[in-house]
């Protein structure tokens, strides 16, 4: 399964995408030699931090370093993933590791992309519970175990952006196609037995672009660091939209 | 007026000002609970967060949020929760605050559920609750309680995202990826906002406000091994100390028993709540010896000390005998994978084991600051008059881990931090809203007041040579780890205090080589170091001063609890480096105060 076992790596050739739009006309790749302790299988984020010790001017986002905050979505040797939970043994090929920003979004600096478009699409789907029933605020809205199970695989999204920025449909129409992350979120609320706005949500998604630009390429599924399946959620929305149109 | 790398000094005359009714520094659980309250009230507020809000450390909370919502047990009582929390605190938690939290908790939980938080469910369709450490029924007499409300083992993630979503709905104004540097204080000792810069552009501003909430979270990064996110650098705590305000009980750091060996990342106490237990190299379930009743669900300080004792006495696991095992495999894959999916993921990733098949190697890891900026139940920051009485600071609030309200005292119970966040984030918001209705008058700061708050930013920006801040940080973390860990002695701590003091001197002379303005994370890290130093020194000096063992503070030279002298909070000021004492509150409103008893589990 692993391209290379951890013990074979000694000095890693790391290549990092660098770009400061205020200072440089064009982005370039900067190379580093990083010494890796033989017995340790470091994560990609660890080697980025080691590179930053050599050159403190490298910029990248990071926070939890355990795969739950979604800060460090990166393009790692050509594949989107989280730096903090991608081990070198999975990522490194021929002792080379090349790290670029998530594709398709404007670069602010180095590995930092402007997430505005991504967040705007997220906000469009009204990512919050809507309920027209009178809620007794002194208790929980009842939900059965089976109803709650329908949210598994949906609510765990960490908004890292790996999926949407791996999606050709999102690259072409980032303003009109909502992208896998926002659509997963849309379905998370459609699927919630406590939410009563399904009709309103579907109506909003019914144009040619919002959902239907998804062509089932499934890049989103192959890169999701949480193992979620946005394509499936999008399929469910499509089914509901088709059913509704009949 | 960007920080253009030419070493231009910033000053009040040219600094742009943005004015708000209220600002909240920090976009984690407590910050977003406060902001939600203010956004709903229509006030002009902003959340200033150095990361996009869902990257905040609340996201990492796993096991749950403890609250007596009577789901698992219809007879459960918030007073029992209160008793457990007071006992867990080793009796230096403030009983008025603990009462408020335990009593108001259920309303806040239902509010979150109504907002959409995807709690796990029971057969009856109610919120699922699991057993956690230090939980009892009937004031410790009725056995183990199940009081921790959970969304699988991703409760913090579910909570933080739900709060972010509710804030999106309410139209909260986020200054996302802005770094707050220092508080601005006027001549009347009122806090009137913060100096902050937008990280993307490097543009500095004076964010002027009538109410400033410090909701900046923990500072576990003062230690080498910690469960805390890389961003947990005690920024609000550092800001408060530099502005001349005190911190309370900073010697009280919780070491969570089950950090993944070699990495520090946690697996939840919920593992033991679901039936997991710890074993030493002989396969012995050693907690039975240390806590015959609660065993693996004794409170965290007790379990962490027991684990280290096993390791120190040669019964640790692995080639270096430096950890123990957390056993879950006897529960079967169904329970492990369904109830603990996040733990399964983390174990595979960082320990290379599937917990349904193999035990997880674990060792205690620095996890949580019980201490922080002292506040009352409304989140108002408290300083101390020269006669030792409390003094409320106008315009300044604190909530969550940055604050010390104090519901956790000497040791926090698992699941109580999330409850603390939402209850006191909300109460701070409520108090600000009320104060606004009745009218707040603040004096304008003078240009000198603003310039004073700019001094650190200026110093870093114009530095031409000096210390490497990454090296100073590493040395600090090593010093804290070596000298202020689970077991403490005067000798170690005095040595540690000297080292921290040297490192403080170095931190006053750090060099920021890269002066660029565009998303310069080195500048952020340099300024974070100043906060880490403040927190570390407060911890070091307070720890040496508390000459007893209580809660998480365990001294080999003073092994016993000393209620006569130390049934008190410690209060530390950075400018004098002096520790004074503050009375613990024993005046709850609706129940009789719980008096100190011998604390066994």
Q: In the prediction, which pLDDT does B297 show? A: 95
Question: In which band, very low, low, confident or very high, does the pLDDT at A9 lie, cut at 50, 70 and 90?
Answer: low
Question: In which band, very low, low, confident or very high, does the pLDDT at A7 lie, cut at 50, 70 and 90?
Answer: low
The tens digit of pLDDT for each residue in A103-114 reads 999 999 999 999
Question: In which band, very low, low, confident or very high, does the pLDDT at B2 lie, cut at 50, 70 and 90?
Answer: very low
Q: Compute, in degrees rounded to 10, the torsion defined by CA atoms B319, B321, B323, B326.
A: 80
Contact (CB<8Å) A192/B59: no
CATH domain A116-245 topology? Fumarate Reductase Iron-sulfur Protein; Chain B, domain 2 (1.10.1060)
Contact (CB<8Å) A135/B114: yes
The tens digit of pLDDT for each residue in B507-520 reads 999 999 999 999 99
The tens digit of pLDDT for each residue in A31-88 reads 999 998 877 789 999 999 999 999 999 999 999 999 999 999 999 999 999 999 999 9
Over 60: is that where the pLDDT of A13 sits? yes
Is it true that domain A6-113 has CATH number 3.40.309.10?
Answer: no
Distance from CA of B547 to the nearest CA of A (A): 35
Inter-chain Cβ pairs, chain A and chain B, closer than 8 A: 148
Over 90: is that where the pLDDT of B102 sits? yes
Alpha carbon B7 to chain centroid distance?
35
Exposure string (b/e) for B112-137, b if CB count within 10 Å is 16 or more?
Answer: bbbbbbbbbbeeebbbbbbbbbbbbb
Contact (CB<8Å) A22/B127: no
Interface test with B, best of A117, A140, A156 (most B CBs within 10 A): A140
Question: In which band, very low, low, confident or very high, does the pLDDT at B104 lie, cut at 50, 70 and 90?
Answer: very high
CATH topology identical between A6-113 and A116-245 = no
Q: Out of B60, B119, B122, name the one closest to residue A66 (CB).
A: B60
Q: Compute, in degrees rounded to 10, the torsion defined by CA atoms A37, A39, A45, A51.
A: 10
CB B270 within 8 A of CB B148: yes
Contact (CB<8Å) B116/A159: no
Q: In the prediction, which pLDDT does B8 show? A: 73
Nearest to B77 by CA among B67, B65, B86: B67
The tens digit of pLDDT for each residue in B292-331 reads 999 999 999 999 999 999 999 999 999 999 999 999 999 9
Domain-wise residue ranges, chain A: 6-113, 116-245
Q: Which chain B residues contact residue A73 at CB under 8 A?
A: none
Structure tokens at B444: 């304008």
Nearest to B565 by CA among B551, B584, B578: B584
Q: Which chain B residues contact residue A139 at CB under 8 A?
A: 110
Distance from CA of B378 to the nearest CA of A (A): 22
Distance CA B571, CA B245 (A): 10
Question: In which band, very low, low, confident or very high, does the pLDDT at B452 lie, cut at 50, 70 and 90?
Answer: very high
Mean pLDDT, chain B, rounded, equals 96
Strand, coil or helix: what is B461?
Answer: helix
Contact (CB<8Å) A128/B121: no
CB B361 within 8 A of CB B355: no
Q: Out of A70, A109, A156, name the one closest to residue B519 (CB).
A: A109
Structure tokens at B76: 């459960």
Q: Which chain A residues contact residue B346 at CB under 8 A?
A: 66-67
Cα dist from B167 to A187, A215, B35, whole Å: 20, 33, 7
Lowest mean pLDDT among B52-61, B393-402, B437-446: B437-446
Contact (CB<8Å) B120/A139: no
Q: In the prediction, which pLDDT does A2 show? A: 42
Q: In the prediction, which pLDDT does A246 show? A: 86
* Residue whose structure tokens are 């990454």: B470
Q: In the prediction, which pLDDT does A138 show? A: 87
The CB-based long-range contact list for B110-114 (8 Å cut-off, 24+ gap) reads B110/A137, B110/A138, B110/A139, B110/A140, B110/B69, B111/A137, B112/B159, B112/B162, B112/B163, B112/B422, B113/A140, B113/A141, B114/A129, B114/A131, B114/A135, B114/A137, B114/A140, B114/A141
Strand, coil or helix: what is B258?
Answer: strand
Alpha carbon B17 to chain centroid distance?
30
Over 60: is that where the pLDDT of B6 sits? no
The DSSP call for residue B349 is I
Distance CA B366, CA B401 (A): 14
Nearest to B460 by CA among B179, B46, B175: B179
Q: In the prediction, which pLDDT does B199 show? A: 98
What are residue A15's DSSP bridge partners?
A31, A98
Over 80: is that where the pLDDT of A94 sits? yes
Distance from CA of A71 to the nearest CA of B (A): 6
Mean pLDDT, chain A, rounded, equals 94
CB B271 within 8 A of CB B289: no
Global pTM value: 0.96
Distance from CA of A81 to the nearest CA of B (A): 14
Distance CA B228, CA B369 (A): 11
Contact (CB<8Å) A108/B518: yes
Q: In the prediction, which pLDDT does A144 show? A: 98
Q: Which chain A residues contact residue B51 at CB under 8 A?
A: 61, 63, 69, 71
Q: In the prediction, which pLDDT does B25 show? A: 98
B57 touches A: beta carbon within 8 Å: yes
Q: Which chain A residues contact residue B230 at CB under 8 A?
A: 62-65
Q: Out of A67, A112, A151, name the one closest to residue B118 (CB).
A: A151
CB B522 within 8 A of CB B512: yes
Contact (CB<8Å) B55/A64: yes
Averaged pLDDT, B31-47: 96
Contact (CB<8Å) B154/A68: yes
Alpha carbon B452 to chain centroid distance?
28
CB B180 within 8 A of CB B25: yes
Distance from CA of B89 to the nearest CA of A (A): 27
Nearest CA in chain A to B2: A22
Distance CA B63, CA B496 (A): 34
Residue A215 CB contacts under 8 Å (≥ 6 apart), including other chains: A169
Interface test with B, best of A41, A63, A145 (most B CBs within 10 A): A63
B127 touches A: beta carbon within 8 Å: yes
Distance CA B482, CA B287 (A): 25
Positive or negative: CA dihedral A168, A172, A174, A179? negative
SS3 of chain A: the string is CCCCCHHHCCEEEEEEEECCCCCCCCCEEEEEEEECCCCCCCEHHHHHHHHHHHCCCCCCCCCCCCCCCCCCEEEECCEEEEHHHCEHHHHCECCEEEEECCCCCCEEECCEECCHHHHHHHHHCCCCCCCCCCCCCCCCCCCCHHHHHCCCCCCCCCCCCCCHHHCHHHHHCCCCCCHHHHHHHHHHHHCCCCCCCHHHHHHHCCCCCCCCCCCCCCHHHHHCCCCCCHHHHHHHHHHHHHHHHC
Q: Which of residues 194-213 of B touch A (CB under 8 A)?
A: 200
Q: In the prediction, which pLDDT does B7 show? A: 57
Averaged pLDDT, B40-47: 94
Task: Work out whether strand B554-555 and strand B390-398 pair parallel, antiparallel, or are unpaired.
Answer: unpaired
Contact (CB<8Å) B114/A137: yes
CB B567 within 8 A of CB B548: no
Residue A2 CB contacts under 8 Å (≥ 6 apart), including other chains: A89, A90
Strand ranges (E), B31-136: 45-49, 65-66, 129-136
Q: In the prediction, which pLDDT does A1 show? A: 37
Burial class, B554, CB count within 10 angstroms (exposed 0-12 / middle 13-18 / buried 19+): buried
Active site residues of B: 300
Distance CA B287, CA B294 (A): 9
Question: In which band, very low, low, confident or very high, does the pLDDT at B555 lie, cut at 50, 70 and 90?
Answer: very high
Contact (CB<8Å) B519/A112: yes
Residue B437 CB contacts under 8 Å (≥ 6 apart), including other chains: none
What are residue B361's DSSP bridge partners?
B325
Averaged pLDDT, B476-492: 96
Q: What is the DSSP string of B409-452?
A: TTSPPTTHHHHHHHHHHHHHHHHHHHHHHH----PPPPHHHHHH
Contact (CB<8Å) A63/B121: no
Question: In which band, very low, low, confident or very high, does the pLDDT at B1 lie, cut at 50, 70 and 90?
Answer: very low
B348 touches A: beta carbon within 8 Å: no
Q: Compute, in degrees rounded to 10, the torsion defined by CA atoms A119, A121, A123, A126.
A: -150
The tens digit of pLDDT for each residue in B56-76 reads 999 999 999 999 999 999 999
Exposure string (b/e) for B208-227, b if CB count within 10 Å is 16 or more?
Answer: bbbbbbbbbbbbbbbbbbbb
**φ, ψ (nearest 5 deg) of residue B578:** -105, 145
The tens digit of pLDDT for each residue in B244-257 reads 999 999 999 999 99
B122 touches A: beta carbon within 8 Å: yes
Cα dist from B586 to A220, B86, B113, B137, B568, whole Å: 56, 10, 32, 22, 11
Distance from CA of B233 to the nearest CA of A (A): 11
Q: Which chain A residues contact residue B477 at CB under 8 A?
A: none
Q: In the prediction, which pLDDT does A5 show? A: 53
Distance CA B541, CA B195 (A): 28
Averaged pLDDT, B148-162: 97
CB A42 within 8 A of CB A65: no
B334 touches A: beta carbon within 8 Å: no
């Amino acid at each position: 399964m692993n391209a290379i076992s951890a013990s074979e790596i000694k000095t890693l050739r790391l290549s990092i995408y660098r770009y400061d739009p205020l200072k440089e006309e064009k982005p370039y790749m900067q190379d580093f030699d990083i010494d890796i302790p033989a017995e340790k299988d470091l994560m990609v984020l660890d080697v980025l931090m080691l590179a930053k010790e050599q050159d403190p001017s490298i910029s990248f986002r990071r926070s939890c370093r355990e795969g739950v905050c979604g800060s460090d979505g990166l393009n790692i040797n050509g594949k989107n993933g989280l730096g903090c939970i991608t081990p070198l043994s999975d990522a490194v090929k021929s002792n080379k590791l090349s790290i670029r920003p998530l594709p398709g979004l404007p670069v602010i600096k180095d590995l930092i992309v402007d997430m505005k478009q991504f967040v705007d699409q997220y906000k469009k789907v009204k990512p919050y519970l809507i309920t027209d029933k009178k809620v007794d605020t002194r208790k929980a809205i009842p939900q059965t175990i089976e109803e709650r199970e329908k949210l598994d695989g949906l609510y765990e999204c960490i908004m890292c952006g790996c999926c949407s920025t791996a999606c050709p449909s999102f690259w072409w129409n980032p303003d009109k196609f909502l992208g896998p992350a926002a659509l997963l979120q849309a379905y998370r609320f459609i699927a919630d037995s406590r939410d009563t706005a399904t009709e309103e949500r579907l109506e909003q998604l019914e144009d040619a672009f919002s959902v239907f630009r998804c062509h089932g390429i499934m890049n989103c599924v192959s890169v999701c660091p949480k193992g979620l399946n946005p394509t499936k959620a999008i399929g469910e929305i499509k089914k509901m939209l088709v059913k509704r149109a009949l | 007026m960007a920080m253009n790398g030419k070493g231009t000094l910033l000053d009040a005359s040219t600094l742009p000002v943005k004015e708000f009714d209220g600002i909240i520094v920090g976009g984690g659980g407590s910050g977003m609970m406060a902001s939600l309250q203010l956004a709903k009230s229509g006030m002009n507020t902003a959340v200033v967060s150095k990361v996009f809000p869902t990257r905040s450390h609340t996201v990492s909370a796993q096991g749950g949020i403890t609250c007596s919502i009577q789901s698992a047990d219809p007879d459960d009582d918030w007073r029992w929760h209160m008793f457990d929390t007071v006992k867990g605190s080793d009796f230096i938690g403030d009983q008025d605050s603990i009462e408020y939290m335990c009593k108001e908790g259920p309303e806040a939980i239902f509010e979150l559920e109504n907002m959409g938080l995807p709690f796990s469910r029971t057969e009856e369709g109610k919120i699922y609750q699991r057993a956690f450490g230090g939980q009892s029924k009937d004031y410790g007499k009725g056995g183990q309680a199940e009081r921790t409300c959970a969304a699988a083992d991703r409760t913090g993630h579910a909570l933080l995202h739900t709060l972010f979503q509710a804030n999106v709905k309410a139209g909260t104004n986020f200054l996302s990826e802005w770094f707050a540097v220092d508080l601005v204080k006027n001549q009347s000792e009122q806090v009137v906002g913060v100096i902050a810069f937008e990280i993307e552009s490097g543009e500095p501003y004076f964010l002027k406000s009538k109410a400033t909430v410090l909701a900046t979270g923990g500072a576990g990064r003062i230690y080498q091994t910690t469960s805390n996110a890389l961003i947990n650098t005690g920024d609000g705590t550092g800001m408060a100390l530099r502005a001349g305000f005190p911190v309370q009980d900073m010697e009280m750091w919780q070491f969570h028993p089950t950090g993944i060996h070699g990495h520090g990342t946690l697996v939840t106490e919920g593992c033991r709540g679901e039936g997991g237990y710890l074993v030493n190299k002989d396969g012995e379930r050693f907690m039975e010896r240390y806590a015959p009743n609660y065993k693996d669900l004794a409170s965290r300080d007790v379990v962490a000390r027991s684990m280290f004792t096993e390791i120190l006495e040669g019964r640790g696991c692995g080639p270096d005998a430096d950890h123990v095992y957390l056993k879950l495999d006897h529960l079967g894959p169904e329970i492990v994978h369904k109830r603990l999916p996040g733990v399964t993921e983390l174990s595979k990733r960082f320990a290379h084991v599937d917990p349904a098949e193999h035990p997880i190697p674990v060792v205690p890891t620095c996890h949580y600051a019980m201490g922080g900026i002292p506040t009352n139940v409304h989140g108002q920051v408290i300083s101390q008059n020269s006669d030792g009485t409390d003094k409320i600071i106008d315009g300044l609030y604190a909530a969550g881990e940055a604050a010390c309200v104090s519901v956790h005292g000497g040791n926090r119970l698992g699941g109580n931090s999330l409850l603390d966040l939402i209850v006191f984030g909300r109460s701070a918001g409520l108090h600000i809203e009320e104060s606004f209705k009745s009218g707040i008058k603040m004096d304008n700061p003078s240009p000198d007041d603003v310039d004073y708050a700019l001094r650190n930013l200026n110093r870093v920006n114009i530095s031409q040579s000096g210390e490497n801040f990454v090296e100073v940080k590493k040395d600090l973390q090593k010093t804290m780890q070596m000298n202020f860990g689970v077991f403490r002695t005067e000798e170690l701590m005095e040595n540690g205090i000297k080292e921290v003091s040297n490192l403080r001197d170095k931190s006053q002379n750090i060099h920021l080589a890269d002066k660029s303005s565009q998303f310069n994370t080195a500048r952020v890290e340099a300024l974070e170091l100043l906060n880490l130093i403040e927190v570390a020194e407060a911890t070091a000096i307070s720890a040496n001063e508390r000459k007893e063992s209580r809660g998480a503070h365990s001294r080999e030279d003073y092994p016993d609890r000393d209620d006569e002298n130390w049934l008190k909070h410690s209060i530390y000021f950075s400018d004098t480096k002096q520790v004074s004492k503050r009375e613990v509150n024993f005046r709850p409103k609706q129940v009789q105060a719980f008096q100190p008893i011998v604390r066994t589990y």
